[in-house]
Amino acid sequence: MPARIRLQRKGKKGKPFYHIVIADGRAPRDGKYIEKIGTYNPITNPAEINLKFDRAVNWLLVGAQPSDTVRAILSFKGALYKSHLLKGVKKGALTEEQAEIKFQAWLKEKQEKISNKIKESILDEKEEQKKRFEAEKQIKEARAQEIAKKKIAETEKKLKEVKAEIQEEQTTADVQEAPVEKPAATEAVQDDVKKEGKPVEEEQKTDEPQAEIKTKETKAEEKAKEEPKAEEKTKEEPKAEEKTKEEPKAEGPKQETKAEAKEKEITSGEVKTEKPEEKKKAGKPGAEISRKAPAAENKEKEQEEKK
């Protein structure tokens, strides 16, 4: 069997990496190979291809058969087109110079296509990023609008609560400040006073001094009544002193007549019949007189018996 140009798998699970090898057609995929002419990494965008161009063209001229994936890689790199031109040169259809000119022209076109594809891919990536950013902005704006609506609703609720509280306070203040309804009689009196040109406040002010004057007068009268009582007490005290002065005369050795004795008895009786109030007012001197009076009577009786 002829040799084959095929891929030999390497790399980890989920991250494939291939070697481009020349191997016997009967050998297993990952078995022995004759020569390694390049590598292929399909994970990157665009795919990364490293190829020994001259060795690949040589194996194609010898008759090695590429696999499907390797055929695509070789056509992408121009190895198949180069081998086709060289076969034409061998047949004499073309010269080597003409074949080289055609190959270089094809490489330029291919490079331009590749560069355009790379630019397009870059632009596509930028557009995708812009779309993502716009979508994110829209999502953020929608969230911000929802949050703003919630905040507005909360502020409106608070404002309503504050307004309700203010209205309640105003109503309570109005109730407290509301004037008490005056009776019809007071209103009629005020109307009469207004007609006369005298306000009600002046009458109230005049009534207050009159009441004060009356209270002062009553106090003065009470004081005046108390003063005569004190004078009477002071007068009664000298009378009691005079009586005490007259009694020592009766104690003398002189003889007294019957008339004088009667007078003394009368005076002594008056002393005995004094009111308890006067005794209290007279104090100690009156008490001494009442004690001395019986002793004087006994002495008078003894003198009469002697006579």
**Total domains, the chain:** 3
pLDDT at 253: 42
pTM: 0.44
> Does 19 share its domain with 88?
yes
Give a yes or no: residue 103 inside a domain: no
Asked if residues 288 and 240 have their Cβ atoms less than 8 Å apart, the reply is no
Q: Give every CB contact of residue 197 below 8 A, 6+ residues apart in sequence.
A: none
pLDDT at 182 exceeding the cut of 90: no
> Does 207 share its domain with 298?
yes
For 92-96, 98-102, 133-137, 247-251, which range has the lowest pLDDT when averaged over its residues? Answer: 247-251
> Does 82 share its domain with 132?
no
Distance CA 8, CA 4 (A): 12
Q: Give every CB contact of residue 251 below 8 A, 6+ residues apart in sequence.
A: 296, 299
SS3 of residue 245 by DSSP = helix
Show the domain range for 153: 109-174
State both tokens at 168.
């309640």
SS3 of residue 247 by DSSP = helix
State both tokens at 306.
């002697």
pLDDT tens track for 50-60: 999 999 999 99
Distance CA 18, CA 42 (A): 8
> Does 162 share its domain with 220?
no
Q: What percent of the chain stands above pLDDT 70? A: 61
**Which residue, among 16, 23, 17, 13, has the nearest Cα to 67 in the 3D structure?**
23
> The domain that contains 71 carries what CATH number?
3.30.1320.10
pLDDT bin (cut points 50, 70, 90) of residue 141 is very high
Distance CA 104, CA 98 (A): 10
